Amino acid sequence: MTATHICIAHPSSSAIEVLRKAVESLPDHAVAWSARDADDALRRAASEPVSVVLLSMDLPGPAAAATVRRLESQCHAAVLLVRTGRGERVNEVYDAMEVGALDVVDMPWLDSSSVLHGLSSLVRKLALAARLGARRAADRSLREATPAAPAAAPAHNPSSYPPSTRSGSVLTATRGHAPAMVAIGASTGGPNAVSRVLASLPRPFPAAIVIVQHVDESFAGTIAAWVAQSSGFPVSLAKSGDGLRVGEALLAATSDHLCVASDGRLDYIAEPRDYPYRPSVDVFFESVAAHHRGTAVGVLLTGMGRDGAKGLMAMRQAGHRTIAQDEGSSVIYGMPRAAAEAGAADEVLDIDRIGHAIERSIRGRRTALPG
């Protein structure tokens, strides 16, 4: 198997060696090169492309967001931010994630016996980043080898999808005995996208909102606070046993999967344990389809991979309205693309149109799909 080539950009030589030990503890992963400032990293990346960049938030040179943007354009590598302290420089982390950084990981450390700690999160996120980096490299090679073709019609056309199994012509604010609910899933670029959607909703908002964002659980509280501040919408962490709160948003708080239990309350479950995305949008959306007794709108926002596409289809087939973010406004058009191409989305919309579509669906001011 071809090794996944990774570079380490960190100002500390000792930190580089710790990260090198972490990378080389993984099968088929190798450190191609390292750099101790942003300018050197950018020069090396241009001539020696890699699949993944481990980028320290403390790197001298341009701000992390500017470095991420240039790495994305130069070598299409997946970028993992490395932080040395939790809760520090939060806005800079978000700025970097909004322009394409995949995620943030804590710096592993060696104890006095040279035993490496804090490796599990880095291992999991490196595996995801390596898959994304390999996919980007393959896409780039295909584009370079394929002559340009005339523009084709968009791959997704929601009006042509087969109708869902909804029984009525209009979704109203309640269906059954549960409050209306907006279920949102997101990954890379998600915090800003979620904030923009929430900021566009009317106040008071006549539905509960539950959000599953791919993020390390140690970062969930910071994301909830940031989204609440930037959107002006109340956001807090979801706890096991919580009921839905009309006019408020709850954010998944752990690496276990958030779900709607059979009694309609929120819960966390460990299974499936081998699912690469934690918490999983698919698991959450599928639980909404199975157990929510009121109206629901499913919204799948920017992110890598396919998580959420299958669950969004389950929600659509259960009679709920479904929306995917469009390519032009997505940081990474992976999850919403998978949903759109599978026919799981009733609408594929620019991020700034999603809030209005949610409000329209919740308030019942729409017509049924053709068919």
Q: Domain of 191: which CATH number?
A: 3.40.50.180
pLDDT the model gives residue 171: 33
Global model pTM greater than 0.85: no
Q: Domain span at residue 140?
A: 4-144
Let me know whether 224 and 358 are in one domain.
yes
- Give which of 206, 189, 202, 218 is closest to 122, Cα–Cα: 218
User: What is the distance, to the nearest Å, from the Cα of residue 54 to the centroid of all Cα atoms in its chain?
Assistant: 19
Let me know whether 179 and 126 are in one domain.
no
Give the burial class of 112: count Cβ atoms within 10 A of its Cβ; 0-12 exposed, 13-18 middle, 19 or more buried: exposed
Residues in the chain: 371
Domain count, the chain: 2
User: Which of 307, 329, 330, 361 is the catalytic position?
Assistant: 307
User: Which of 34, 187, 231, 280 is the catalytic position?
Assistant: 187
Let me know whether 255 and 331 are in one domain.
yes
Does an H or E element contain 311, and which?
helix 309-317
> Parallel, antiparallel, or unpaired: how do β-strands 78-83 and 52-56 relate?
parallel
The mean pLDDT value for 48-68 works out to 90
103 is catalytic: no
Let me know whether 130 and 259 are in one domain.
no
pLDDT above 70: percentage of residues in the chain: 83
Let me know whether 236 and 203 are in one domain.
yes
214 is catalytic: yes
Q: Is the pLDDT of residue 11 over 60?
A: yes
Domain end among 87, 109, 144: 144
pLDDT the model gives residue 85: 66
User: Which of 214, 257, 292, 320 is the catalytic position?
Assistant: 214
113 is catalytic: no
pLDDT the model gives residue 348: 98
- Give the pLDDT confidence of 300-337 residue by residue, as tens digits: 999 888 999 999 999 999 999 999 999 999 988 899 99
DSSP string, 226-282: HHHHHH-S-EEE--TTPPP-TT-EEE--SSSEEEE-TTS-EEEE--STT-SSSS-HH
Q: How confident is the model at residue 27 (pLDDT cuts 50, 70, 90)?
A: confident
pLDDT the model gives residue 150: 41
Q: Categorise residue 341: left if φ over 0, alpha if ψ from -120 to 50, beta otherwise.
A: alpha
Let me know whether 124 and 65 are in one domain.
yes
